[in-house]
Each structure stands twice: as C-alpha cells, then as structure tokens.
Amino acid sequence: MRLTGGVAERSLEDPLGAPLTIGEVGQLLGCSVWTVRQRYLRRGLPYFRIGSTGKLVFYRAQVTRWILEQQEIHRGRR
C-alpha cells in the first residue's frame, strides 16, 4: 500500500529529507552559522562538502536524527 500526499510520501521517497544550507541549519538549531561551523560540525553534525568551492550541504532528516541522538547522549549524563 502506497501512502499519497504530504510528509508521508516525501519521507518514503527521500529518506535524507530536504537539503538545507548552513544558514537553515543554524535556524533549525537556534544558533549562528559560526556556531554550526565551529561547534556542531566538530561534534559530528552530518554534512556533505560539494564541489571545489567546499559548499556544505545538510539534509533535514540527518540533522534531525543527529539532534535526537545528542539529546539522548546528554540526557544520560544528567
């Protein structure tokens, strides 16, 4: 059975989710582009470096999964 329309269909077709810029990731995390680069990339935030310009591309589902994993890790420390 195939689900049609809305988020369910998109998530089945594209498991990575929508591509995001570093600015959009900053908005999602509630921080600046600088903080994404200096803090979260070093902590393992998943990204792809595209082309010779070195542009960073993120995918919504991967970023969301990473956030949830980080919450679980830090929840265990308390």
- Domain spans of the chain? 16-77
Beta bridge mates, 59: 19
pLDDT digits (tens, 9 = 90+) for 40-51: 999 999 999 998
pLDDT of residue 23: 97
pTM for this one? 0.76
Can you name the CATH fold of 16-77?
Multidrug-efflux Transporter Regulator; Chain: A; Domain 2 (1.10.1660)
Q: Give which of 69, 12, 27, 14 is closest to 46, Cα–Cα.
A: 69
* Range with the poorest average pLDDT among 8-17, 32-41, 42-51, 56-65: 8-17
Please tell me the number of Cα atoms within 13 Å of 37 on its side-chain side.
10
